Structures are given as structure tokens and as C-alpha cells.
């Protein structure tokens, strides 16, 4: 992620960043399902999350899922801001169209 964000800061690597973002979306889906299965498999152990104890696997999976989500969101912000596309850009475009159509009336 460090190299990708550094390249984006230099205005390079937009296609690679978008591809990485898509990979993180797939990985996040997988990790979310894995976490759900682990919680179901170990229902009473989720509270015991100290390293080395039963349930620490659930804590580790939750941490990995959170880190993956943070990286995906970081890439989403960086790529959407740079191109004006995606959820942020789409919302801006919709607001601009709406205000333009109101001004025309």
C-alpha cells in the first residue's frame, strides 16, 4: 500500500490502484465470510481475544478484516478524488445536475 499511495501522490499508477482496490473488495468479502464462520464455530470464545487463548483467531480475523477495509477505503478516497469518478464523483455529478436543472426552471 505504501508504494501505491506514494505513486498516486506523484500522479502515477491510477490503473494499478483501481485494480488493487478491486482485489481488496474481493478479499474483504472473503475475510468477512471467514470471520462470520469463525464466530459461528466458536460462539462462546469471541470475548477471549488475548493472544494464544481460544478465540484469539477471531480477534486476528477481525483485525485483518478491519485493516483490509481501511486500505480499500483509502484507495477509494485517493482514486475517486483524483478522477472525480466513483461514489464521491458520482454524487458530485448528481448534485451538479440537480442544481443545474433547478436553475433552468
Q: Where are the domains of the chain?
A: 2-104
pLDDT of residue 39: 86
The alpha carbon of 31 is separated from its chain's Cα centroid by a whole number of angstroms, namely 12
Which residues in the chain show pLDDT less than 70? 45-55, 82-105
pLDDT of residue 87: 46
pLDDT of residue 48: 53
pLDDT of residue 78: 86
d(CA 51, CA 26): 27
3-state class of 49 per DSSP? coil
Q: Maximum CA pair distance of the chain?
A: 67
Amino acid at each position: 500500500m505504501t508504494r501505491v499511495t506514494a505513486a498516486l501522490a506523484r500522479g502515477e499508477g491510477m490503473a494499478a490502484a483501481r485494480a488493487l482496490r478491486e482485489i481488496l473488495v474481493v478479499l474483504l468479502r472473503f475475510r468477512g465470510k471467514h470471520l462470520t464462520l469463525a464466530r459461528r464455530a466458536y460462539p462462546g470464545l469471541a470475548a477471549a481475544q488475548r493472544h494464544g487463548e481460544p478465540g484469539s483467531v477471531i480477534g486476528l480475523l477481525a483485525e485483518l478484516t478491519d485493516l483490509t477495509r481501511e486500505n480499500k477505503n483509502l484507495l477509494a478516497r485517493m482514486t475517486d478524488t483524483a478522477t472525480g469518478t466513483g461514489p464521491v464523483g458520482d454524487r458530485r455529478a448528481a448534485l451538479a445536475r440537480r442544481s443545474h436543472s433547478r436553475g433552468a426552471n
